[in-house]
Amino acid sequence: MSNTALITGASSGIGLELAKIHARKNGDLVLVARSEAKLIALKNELEEEYGVKVDVITSDLSQSDAAQSLFEQTEALGLQIDTLINNAGFGGHGKFHERSLADEQSMMQVNMVTLTNLTHLYLKGMVERNKGRILNVSSTASFMPGPLQAVYYATKSYVTSFSQAVAEEVKDNNVTVTALCPGTVATGFVAAGNLEGVDAWKNAKSPQSVAECGYKAMETGELVVFNESSLKFMFNWIFPLLPRKSVLKMSRQVMEKK
């Protein structure tokens, strides 16, 4: 029985750990990222250790045609994608009007548009087969505005909202959609997003622990999952009751560089 997962952003961090988990469960993989060398190294490791089949596709997901091209490549290879894991994403630090608009547009493309396009392209087949799983890696950032990361927080709000809405639409087709909303994670996200010096990452969790949490939630078809119970309580029961200006102030303080 086919059990192939396509994972974006699979060359490092949470995506890499999710790939290892899926391979450990005897699932085949399609690994997607920009770094071909890293993907090939991971492919060789997983195939040797677990005996699974791993395909590698290099792609820059900030390009407008990335999702369609990726879909066409998997179709040409005759691959049935049973699990779609939209993990790729990045952030950036600074005041919105001072940041590069091109960088913000690339962020929106990767975090929202390509994720949406991939979901649309692969979801159709899942619905037709009456079976499938989708895991969208979002963030606790999706539950509040984010001064100094305005666009990043907004993109993640989209991901969490979009995931839940689609999950409701396809619940009768034996297809699940899960939004993974971790707090800070110790990955290359910090360096890539110019977030060094931000206190929030002092207690960052390991990508392995976050991946384990997300994969398990996907298996059970949860709608939204947090990697820490304290975060779940905070964002479900505390933040909604606070005045908006207080939330904005707290959110900004967390992102200030020391």
> Which residues participate in catalysis according to the annotation?
152
Maximum CA extent, the chain: 54
Q: Is the dihedral of CA 123, 13, 59, 196 positive or negative?
A: positive
User: Encoding tokens for residue 200?
Assistant: 């929030």
User: What is the total residue count of the chain?
Assistant: 258
User: Encoding tokens for residue 226?
Assistant: 């947090």
Pair 91, 104: CB distance under 8 Å: no
Cα gap 257→196, rounded to integer Å: 8
Cα gap 137→114, rounded to integer Å: 13
Q: Which amino acid appears at position 77 of this protein?
A: L
User: Encoding tokens for residue 176?
Assistant: 């699940």
Angle, CA 156 vertex, CA 154 and CA 162 arms, to 5° = 105
Cα gap 85→31, rounded to integer Å: 10
* CA-closest candidate to residue 131, choices 175, 170, 87: 175
Q: Which amino acid appears at position 126 of this protein?
A: M
123: buried, middle or exposed (CB in 10 Å: 19+, 13-18, 0-12)? Answer: buried
Q: Which residues pair with 57 in a beta bridge?
A: 32
